[in-house]
Structure formats: structure tokens, C-alpha cells
Amino acid sequence: MNEIIISPSNPRIKELVKLRESPRRRRERGVFVVEGLDDLKALWESGKRVEEVFHCKKLISQGYVSESLAKWEREGIKLQEVSEEAFLKASYRKKSDGILAVVRKWSLEIRPPEEVKHTLVVVLDEIEKPGNLGAILRTAEAFGADAVFLSDSCVDFFNPNVVRSSRGLIGQVPVFAGTKDEVFDWLEASQLEILGTSSKQSDSLYESKLARGTAFVLGSEKEGLGSFWKSKISKWCKIPMRGKASSLNLNACLACLLSEFNRATQRH
């Protein structure tokens, strides 16, 4: 049994802070940090490699947390108890359940089409905000997207805010990252219909014939779809809105698209 880490100045606590704050440190070590039992369980249950779990007894209020710790210890995962002061130094949440872990990163390299199910695919071009990416991944998982492609992404996929906003579901949906050309080549090789949305279009999403084999392409939060993807879209449509809003945020837009795809294709 390891000794309890008491001081927030302990080198291992400082390392957790570095992993939380520094994309470069995460790249160097090939790991990232996850806080919260539910998020960690979601990653572990998706088969991701949990390397070490830091826990603070004073902050753990639920009995099932202790049950999970015992299970992970039996699985050979290293456990390290820390003081409340030390834990809060490494924590990045306002309210914590006393669980913080180091998890091994995985590859986002694009795999051949024959290795990836692709009835329903989401492409995110130049997405900029970690919180938005996490929320979108949660939505993609909820509606059964087969894969998500990050096209020239500006976000570190393993940023703690991506994990938190996804509720730990970043490991549930296959995610791949590449250049615009690489992502488009994959879509073309997969013979997917590439669909984009615009409020300027006359064709309603609800009247469009959606194919079983569709890729929805969404642009950046700030600029929308750039010229590259605009030239690649094979079908355009608009999401009908009755209010005064001229547009939706990315996550709301995606929820509308995926929900309608499942309804229209009777995909349950």
C-alpha cells in the first residue's frame, strides 16, 4: 500500500497539474487526466487503459465509489490515496467526488473504410472549443453515430474539458483526425452522401431523402463551413426554425440532424 500523499507540492501532484494544463505534456507522456467516477467508468468500460487512480477519502461520499476502487485494484490498476488539499490542487472541477485518474491515450489515425462502420458519420471541420467538442461527442453517441471525423481540428482531443463535456463518452464513438483532404478521401472511398446545412437553402431537412450512408459536415463555431467543404457537399438542406433565431449552435444542429436521420431511415 502506497503512503498517502499529503502535500500539494508533491511531485506527483505537480505532474497531474501539468497533465491537466499542458497539451505538450500530454503528448510527451501519451496520457491524459480524467476526473469523476462516472466519466472514468465510462472510459474504463469502453476498454481504455486506466493507469492509475488518485482518490481522496474525505471527498468520497458514495459507497459505490469504494466498490469501484476495490474492483480496479483487483484488475491491477494502481491506486493512490491523497489528502484533500493535495487532491484539490490537481482537481479541475468545482465539485469533485474524490476521483482523478491517469488514462492512456489512443490513436486517432484514420483507418480504412472497411474497418469502420459508416452508415452515419459526422465530420467536424476546424472545431475550436474543447467543451463544444465534448458535448458533440456525447450527442453523437446518444444518437448512434458510427464515427466522428475531426477535419483540421484546432482542439486537443484529450483536453480535460473535452472529457468532462462528453461525460466520459469520448471512448464510446470511434473518432479519427486528419486533414481536410484525408477526411474527404475517406468519405469518397466509403461512397457516402455528404450533407451540409445552411439557412439559405430552400430544401427542408424534414423533406430531404436521407441515404443510409450519410456524412453530416459541420463547420467551425465562428466561421461555419469553409470553401473546401462547401465544394464537396453533395446535398444541402436547412433545419426549419419557427422562432427569430437565425442559427443554432453546433451541438443543437447535430442533434436535429441525427435525430431526423434515425427517424427517416427507421434506424433504431
| Count of the separate structural domains present in the chain | 2
pLDDT at 1 over 70: no
CA-based radius of gyration for the chain: 21
Q: In this predicted model, what pLDDT tens digit does every residue of 87-133 receive, in sequence order?
A: 999 998 878 889 999 999 999 999 999 999 989 999 999 999 999 99
pLDDT at 41 over 80: yes
| In-domain check, residue 245 | yes
CA dist., res. 236 & res. 208, Å (int): 9
| In-domain check, residue 2 | no
Which domain CATH number covers 251? Answer: 3.40.1280.10
Note whether 94 and 118 are same-domain residues. no
Residue found under cell 449552435: 249
Give the phi and the psi of residue 99 in degrees, each rounded to 5. Answer: -125, 130
Where does the pLDDT of residue 267 fall: very low under 50, low under 70, confident under 90, or very high at 90 and above? low
Note whether 256 and 124 are same-domain residues. yes
pLDDT of residue 148: 98
Give percent of the chain above pLDDT 90: 76
pLDDT of residue 88: 95
Note whether 54 and 182 are same-domain residues. no
Note whether 170 and 53 are same-domain residues. no
Which domain CATH number covers 44? Answer: 3.30.1330.30
Note whether 186 and 222 are same-domain residues. yes
Where does the pLDDT of residue 204 fall: very low under 50, low under 70, confident under 90, or very high at 90 and above? confident
Per-residue pLDDT averaged across 13-34, rounded?
97
pLDDT of residue 260: 93
| In-domain check, residue 1 | no
Note whether 153 and 226 are same-domain residues. yes
Handedness of CA 48, 53, 57, 58 (dihedral sign): negative
* Cβ within 8 Å of residue 123, ≥6 positions away: 148, 149, 151, 183, 187, 194, 215, 216, 217, 218, 229
pLDDT of residue 201: 72
Averaged pLDDT score across all residues of the chain? 92
Q: In this predicted model, what pLDDT tens digit does every residue of 164-199 receive, in sequence order?
A: 999 999 999 999 999 999 999 999 999 999 999 887
Note whether 87 and 137 are same-domain residues. no
Per-residue pLDDT averaged across 208-227, rounded?
89
| Residue numbers of the domain that contains 90 | 11-104
Domain boundary among 39, 72, 104: 104
Note whether 122 and 220 are same-domain residues. yes
| In-domain check, residue 72 | yes
| In-domain check, residue 46 | yes
Note whether 96 and 118 are same-domain residues. no
Question: 105 and 77 in contact (C-beta within 8 Å)?
Answer: no
| In-domain check, residue 3 | no
CA dist., res. 100 & res. 87, Å (int): 8
CA dist., res. 56 & res. 13, Å (int): 13
Question: CA nearest 154: which of 129, 179, 118?
Answer: 129
| In-domain check, residue 95 | yes
CA dist., res. 14 & res. 117, Å (int): 41
| In-domain check, residue 32 | yes
Note whether 160 and 186 are same-domain residues. yes
pLDDT of residue 241: 80
Domain boundary among 39, 70, 104: 104
Domain boundary among 81, 104, 127: 104
Note whether 94 and 136 are same-domain residues. no
Note whether 203 and 139 are same-domain residues. yes
